[in-house]
Amino acid sequence: MKKKLSIVDIANSLNISKTTVSFILNGRAQEKRISEELVQRVLKFVDEVGYKANSLAKSLRTGKSNIIGLMVEDISNPFFASIARLIEDRAYKNGYKIIYCSTDNDTKKTQELIEMFRDRHVDGYIMAPPEGIEEDITSLIKDGMPVVLFDRHLPKVNTDYIEIDNLFSTYNATRHLVEQGYKNIAFVTFSSQQSQMKARLEGYKKALKENSLKPVVKEILFNQNEEFIIGPITSFLKKHKDLDAVFFGTNHVGTCGLKVINSLSIKVPSDLAVISFDDYDVFKLFSPPVTAIAQPVEEIADNVITVLLNKLNSPLQHQKLQSIILKTELTIRGSSRMQAAAQL
């Protein structure tokens, strides 16, 4: 077990001061007028012995950590997992590491996580914020920390965010159902005051209103345990026999919804048409495949990291804030075609 070399070891070996070594390794040789000859000697030696600076010590002194804190709702949710994956990749390429955590939409847990990130001196924050976290984020921003929100934003918090056009997405998808001739369309979603969930609900309602149809909304409490999602959906679907279509507000609700549909032996789309927010393998492979609103995952991740890197690289506080709203794509599949229903 060879002990790691420190900058002092390097300095001693070369009979120079550690300051000189530090300057050279940080590319400040020119600025500090260190002779080219010495620079080369140091670089060569450092390379030979494989010295790497202790980043803890570095962070302690400089206050910078080259770490970005990423907080998603649940890392095991495919939407967040793929976003996290893409952000991770791009961050690495730019010399940043990612620490990520799941908030579970739990305000208290999120506060603790922010505390931990702050404590670990992360350089910037990327979050899909839960409700009730406004103050904590504001205080973060006031302390000069770059914060980028995604998936949702906090109306009271003044910072950059990347979102999709939730209202239009559900509005458009609902209209698609209406155009197909469906008249009793339910919207099943998590009970939430978050911007994206409110917008999705609104979009649905707007489309129905324009067509003089009656909204039927079922709100479910967010819960880690699937049973507590499947249960309410089951009784909801059992109760509303007159529905001819159902719109699931998130991929998680959608997946649980499909399980319920299977267990009740409901035929899609003849008994019930289905649309879900978010797209992923489950919806592609269900029979018939489920029409879904696909979020531009790469684009979201790209924008998030780009905005954050910009903030990190320009210490100016007075750059103006960005609110980026991306478009989704309605991927129409067999689960919502009235024709298909007609065929049976």
Partner DNA sequence: TTTAGAAAATAAATCGGTTAAGCAATGAAG
Partner DNA sequence: CTTCATTGCTTAACCGATTTATTTTCTAAA
Q: Which of 12, 19, 54, 191 binds a copy of itself (CB under 8 A)?
A: 54
Omega before 232 within 30 of 0, i.e. cis:
no
The count of residues interacting with a copy of itself (CB under 8 A) is 43
The first and second tokens of residue 228, run together, are 């507590």
CB of 109 to a copy of itself, least distance (A): 9
Q: Which amino acid is at 157?
A: V
The listed partner (DNA, a copy of itself, none) that binds 1, CB under 5 to 8 Å by sort, is a copy of itself
Q: Which of residues 28-47 bind DNA (CB under 7 A)?
A: 32-35, 37-38
Q: How far apart are CA 159 and CA 146, in angstroms?
A: 9
| 8 lines the binding site for a copy of itself (CB under 8 A) | no
Cβ-based burial of 338 (10 A; exposed 0-12, middle 13-18, buried ≥19): middle
Q: Which of 33, 93, 144, 242 binds a copy of itself (CB under 8 A)?
A: 144
Of 270, 205, 263, the C-alpha closest to 238 is 263
Q: How far apart are CA 277 and CA 204, in angstroms?
A: 12
The listed partner (DNA, a copy of itself, none) that binds 97, CB under 5 to 8 Å by sort, is a copy of itself
Q: How far apart are CA 124 and CA 118, in angstroms?
A: 9
The listed partner (DNA, a copy of itself, none) that binds 215, CB under 5 to 8 Å by sort, is none
- DSSP calls for 52-72: ---HHHHHHHHS---EEEEEE
Element (H, E) at 99: strand 97-102
CB of 12 to DNA, least distance (A): 10
Q: Which of residues 101-130 bind a copy of itself (CB under 8 A)?
A: 101-102, 115-116, 119-121
| 1 lines the binding site for a copy of itself (CB under 8 A) | yes
Q: How far apart are CA 26 and CA 5, in angstroms?
A: 17
Question: Residues interacting with a copy of itself, by CB under 8 A?
Answer: 1, 52, 54-57, 59-60, 65, 74-76, 78, 81-82, 84-85, 88, 97-102, 115-116, 119-121, 142-144, 255, 258-259, 262, 281-282, 284-287, 289
Binding site for DNA (CB under 7 A): 4-8, 15-20, 22-23, 25-26, 32-35, 37-38, 52-54, 57-58, 60-62
